[in-house]
Amino acid sequence: MTVIRAALDEMFAVIGQMVGSVFRHGLPLTDKIAARTALTNFFLHIHPVRVRRSWIRMSYTLCLGGLSFFLFIVLTVTGLFLMFYYVPSTSHAYQDMRDLQFVVTFGGVIRNMHRWAAHAMVITVWLHMARVFLTGSYKKPREFNWGVGTLLLLITLLLSFTGYLLPWDQLSIWAVTVGTNMAKYAPIAGPYTRYLLIGGRVVGDNALLRFYVLHVVGLPLAAFLLMVVHFWRVRKDGFSGGL
Partner 1 sequence: MATEARDRIAARDRVEQRRRPAEVPSTVRDDSEDEMVVSFPEFVFKEFIAAVAMTAFLILVSVWLQAPLLGQANPGMTPNPSKAPWYFLGLQELLSRFPPLMAGVAFPTFVIVLMILVPFLDRNPSRRPSERKVAIILFALYTAIVVALVIIGTFFRGHEFVWDWGWVLGNPQTCGGSPC
Residues of this chain, 140-179, that bind ligand HEM according to CB under 6 A: 142, 145-146, 149-150, 152-153, 156
Distance, CA of 57 to CA of 176 (rounded, Å): 41
User: Does the protein bind partner 1 through residue 229 (CB under 8 A)?
Assistant: no
58 binds partner 1 per the rule CB under 8 A? yes
Query: Which residues 111-170 are close enough to bind partner 1 by CB under 8 A?
Result: 111-113, 115-117, 120, 122, 130, 133-143, 146-147, 150, 154, 157, 160-161, 164, 167-170
Instruction: Please tell me whether residue 230 binds ligand HEM under the rule CB under 6 A.
Output: yes
How many residues bind ligand HEM (CB under 6 A)? The answer is: 25
- Distance from C-alpha of 217 to C-alpha of 159, rounded to nearest angstrom: 10
**In the complex, minimum distance from the CB of residue 157 to ligand HEM, in angstroms, rounded to a whole number:** 10
Q: What is the largest CA-CA distance in the chain?
A: 89
Residue of 161, 145, 163, 157 lying closest to 65 (CA atoms): 145
Distance, CA of 236 to CA of 106 (rounded, Å) = 42
Binding residue (CB under 8 A) for partner 1 from 35, 104, 209, 226:
35
CA distances from 217 to 79, 83, 118, 212 (A): 11, 12, 16, 8
Tell me the backbone φ, ψ of residue 163, rounded to 5 degrees. Answer: -65, -30
Rounded to the nearest whole angstrom, what is the least distance from the CB of residue 62 to ligand HEM in the complex? 7
Tell me whether residue 3 or residue 223 sits nearer to partner 1 (CB atom).
223
